[in-house]
A and B are shown apart, each in its own frame.
Chain A
Amino acid sequence: MSEQPEVARRVRGETADGAPVAPFLEFQDVHFGYPGEKVLEGLSFSVPEGGGLVLVSLTGGGKSTVIRMAAGLVHPETGTMRLRGRDLRELSYDEHRTFLRETGFVFQNSALLINQRVFDNVALPLRYHEPGLGEEAIGARVEEVLRRFDMLHKAAEFPATLSTGERRQVNFARAMVMETRLLLLDDPFVGVAQAAARKIAGILRGLKESRRVTLLVCAESVSHLVDTGLVERIGVLKHGRVARIGGVGDYLQKNTRDLRRIVTVGEAEDLERPIEPEAREALAQTPPEAADPEIQEVAGGHQP
């Protein structure tokens, strides 16, 4: 129970004495598109250090773009992305590389190197970034992380021989083999068996609590993320912006049925439904200072 105020503080992005801290990762009024297609139109959100946010949307809603942008793989046309209060574009080459080194990335298609064995795929970041580490130490670390994801028996295999779920587990192992500070997950549990997904979510939660790893997840189905308490906040990505954002628990408690269905059943189609009239009315009648910060409809794509 003592964890609750801490979680709430994290959600609000405050320190123990209530002072606001610069979020670990912040998007502000970000616009981005591909030729003939607008993907992000005024996207704004933030994730405090050690916090977890899941952005839920339909297929083609810009989830992968958000994740890739958070890693600096694509850059916004307009708007700013900040890392601990600093504009990502202001980071020097070395600073950006350090940021990437501390960032674990789980791709929608796993993106393993197909001509390298599972072991070598997971060992790659260590072999590249830790020149002082001998092969024995690297082997021990890789075995440990593979064992954690029940993939040690597949260490000598090539990715092509693995199932979708197994490839995803190897991708998780590779993302966590370094001292990760930020985890960017793009639809992380697609194709992963229920039991394995729950186990992975449990591992992630342990990591988040022990190392204060910050988590940004984009997904269609978020049941495992919510069930295991992996994320504290949920945002709805719609029309290229965060349409609604709030604490997961509050959404469930307040019975805002459209979002509850999304988080429990994973039916992203419900996003198209308007927010329930009763909830809207209750929000409208609440004075701004007393309004629950955990459940607000975000006007114009800006986070309150």
Chain B
Amino acid sequence: MEMVFNPWWLPELIGRRISGGVLYLREVFALFYLALRSVWTEGILARKGLRLVGRITFNQLRFTGYDALPRISFTAFTFGSIVVIQAVDFLGMWTSLEDLYHIITLIIVREVSPIIIALILIGRSCTAISTELANMKLNREVEALTSMGINLEYFIVLPRLVGFVVSVVSLVVYFNIVALVGGYAAAELAGKMPISFSVIRLLESVGAKDLFVTLLKGGIFGAIIAVVGCHHGFSVGISFREVPQVTTKAVVNAMVMCFVVNTVISISV
């Protein structure tokens, strides 16, 4: 068979990738929209299963937020220590104390804490959601729920969405406090801290804009992780061999989307 060279293979490939990406984003946004809409249609108007959904949301908060606290604490402390010690060590002699406070809070609060929390929760909870839903679908549990007239966006997606958004936002605030205070304490213990450096001033240097950016990022990252995890869990076909595949896709896509959103917010706000 004669091989014909297609000079348009690269544009075609790029076009296919772009259209695939657009379709994917549309599906993810549709799931997000349907979950939000179900608050009105199922929750407020029909008052369906409020206690049930509330209980699932509470469990999600516990798994995603509360249970992650030990790891987050350790990560925040080590990361805060490194940033504060390095900043004081290398920048202390070149910049004023005010600038030093601002550099530390900029790095920790605005840029690093939301993305670190997102990465930890993607590895820890996005994989759990995606695997759980994929297995539920393959065991026909999802079909059973549908056959009982249960709205999947309300019963499955919404509790995870709320649980993730609240968890990520809370964990970001917690991470910031532990990283700043813990970093200061570590630098103090290591004898690297100038006498005039005050932890109160450090915390006070966190402005409203920094707080807004970190919370905005946390909220959006939480929504992305939850919806992408659910979307890929539901996308499993007919075989249990697909479960690790959809989970891997969920992790990679959630990470990419979080990085893109992080960059966009950092540049634009």
Contacts and interface: CB of A to CB of B under 8 A. Distances in A.
A109 B139 contact: yes
Contacts of A109: 139-140
Contact of A125 (B51, B143, B146, B148): B148
Interface in B119-176: 136, 139-141, 143-151, 155
B141 A101 contact: no
A91 interface: no
A145 to B, nearest CB: 14
Contact of B143 (A73, A112, A124, A174): A73
Contacts of A98: 149
Interface residues of B, number: 21
Given A109-B139, A111-B140, A114-B139, A127 B51 contact: yes
| Most A Cβ at <10 Å: residue of B136, B139, B141, B147 | B147
Contact of B48 (A73, A129, A174): A129
A73 B150 contact: no
B50 interface: yes
Contacts of B155: 128
Contact of A128 (B136, B139, B150): B150
B146 A111 contact: no
A129 B149 contact: yes
B147 A73 contact: yes
B52 interface: yes
B47 to A, nearest CB: 4
B49 interface: yes
A128 B49 contact: yes
Given A127-B52, A128-B49, A129-B48, A105 B147 contact: yes
Contacts of B50: 131
Interface string B196-238: 0000000000000000000000000000000000000000000
A127 B53 CA distance: 10
A127 B141 CA distance: 17
Interface string A17-33: 00000000000000000
Interface string A95-131: 0011111010101010111100000000011011101
Nearest to A123: B52
Contacts of A71: 147
Contacts of B47: 131
A68 interface: yes
B137 to A, nearest CB: 11
A97 B49 CA distance: 14
5 contacts: A111-B141, A113-B141, A125-B148, A128-B49, A131-B46
- Which 6 A-B residue pairings sit nearest by Cβ, starting from the closest? A100-B149, A128-B49, A111-B144, A111-B140, A105-B147, A101-B149
Interface of B: 46-52, 136, 139-141, 143-151, 155
